[in-house]
Structure 1
Amino acid sequence: MGDITTVAKAFFDACETGGGWEACARYCALHATFSAQADALAGVTSLRDYTEWMKGLLTFIPDGRYEVRSFATDEERRNVTAYGVFHGTHTGEGGPCPPTGKSTSTDYVYVMQFEGDRIIGLTKIWNDARAVRELGWA
C-alpha cells in the first residue's frame, strides 16, 4: 500500500471529510482500536465506529473542515501524528439539539499506530468540552 506517512495522510483526509468506514477501511486493520479521553466520544472504542461518528458529525456541521498544522512520522515507534484544527458551524439538523448557528475552531491531535502499512489504533487528543461550549451544546 505504501509508506505509513502516505497511508496516514490518505486516512486522515478520508476520515476528516466524512468518508466513514467505507472510505477509511482500506487503510486500517479490520479490528483497529480507537481511544480518546473525551466525553463526546465515550463508548467509541473501534476505529470503524469513530470514522462513522465523524461522518455523522458532518451531517449537522455540513461546513466542517480541517486545517493541518503538523504531520510527523516516527518510524521507530511505527506511528504518525497529525495536529489539526477543525472548523465548523452547527447549521444542519441532527446532533444533540436543534441547529444553534454557532461555530467552533477546535484543536485536536491524532496518533495513528501502525502494524505494517495498516493503522491498528488511533488515539485522539481533543478538548471536547470547549468545542461543545462553542457550538452551544452545553
Structure 2
Amino acid sequence: MADSNRATFRRFHDVLNTGDAEAISKIIDEVVAPDLIFHAPVPMGATGVQALKHVWTVLLRAFPDLRVEIEDVIAEGDKVVVRNTVTGTHRGEYRDLPPTGRSVRYDEIFIFRFAGGRIAEVWGVVDVFAQMRQLGVVPGGAP
C-alpha cells in the first residue's frame, strides 16, 4: 500500500510543478477523494476537492513560477509525509497584498492520508511567517 500511495503522490506532485492550472485540476479530480478533508493554514470557504483547487488557483495567480521541490518523502501504511521547499516570484495579488516582484523561498510539511488509492485527508504546516517576511509584510524581510 505504501509504495502505491507514494507513486500516486509522485504523479500528483509532478503535475503540480507544471504550473498548468487545467492539468492540476484534472490530477486533483483523478487522485483526490471528492470529500477530501483538508487541514491547512489557508483561509477559505471551500471544502473537499474544491478547497484544494482553490489553493492552487490562488498560488498560481500570485506565484506563476511556483516550484515545489521535494526534500523528503516517507510512506508508511496509508500515509505519505512530504517535506518541501517552495520557491516563486510574487507577480499577482496574494493575501490582499499587491504584486511585489519579490522572490520567496519557504518550507512546508504535508501529511497525506490515502483511502481507496486516493488522497482522502491532508494536513499542512507551511512557514507562512517566512513567506510574509520575504514579501515585506513582516519586518526583517528583503527591501
Q: TM-score, normalised by structure 2?
A: 0.79
Aligned residues: 131
Give the conservation status (yes or no) of the 8 Å contact 2:108–2:127. yes
Name the CA distance, whole Å, in 1 between partners of 2:137 and 2:13: 26
Identity %: 24
Secondary structure at the counterpart of residue 3 of structure 1: helix
Unaligned ranges ≥5, structure 1: none
Q: TM-score, normalised by structure 1?
A: 0.82
Report what 2:34 is aligned to.
Answer: 30
For the Cα contact (< 8 Å) 2:111–2:123, is it kept in 1? yes
Task: Quote the Cα distance in structure 1 between the aligned partners of 2:136 and 2:32.
Answer: 34
In structure 1, C-alpha distance between the alignment counterparts of 2:18 and 2:125, rounded to whole Å: 18
- Native 8 Å contact 1:11 1:27 kept in 2: yes
How well do the aligned residues superpose, as a CA RMSD in angstroms?
A: 2.1
Specify which structure has the bigger relative contact order, considering alpha-carbon pairs within 8 angstroms and separated by 6 or more residues.
1
Taking the aligned partners of 1:47 and 1:85, their CA distance within structure 2 comes to 23
Distance 1:56 1:94 in 2: 9
Which residues in structure 2 correspond to 1:1-138 (within 5 Å)?
3-18=4-19, 19=21, 20-36=24-40, 38=41, 41-43=42-44, 45-75=47-77, 78-90=78-90, 92-95=91-94, 96-138=96-138
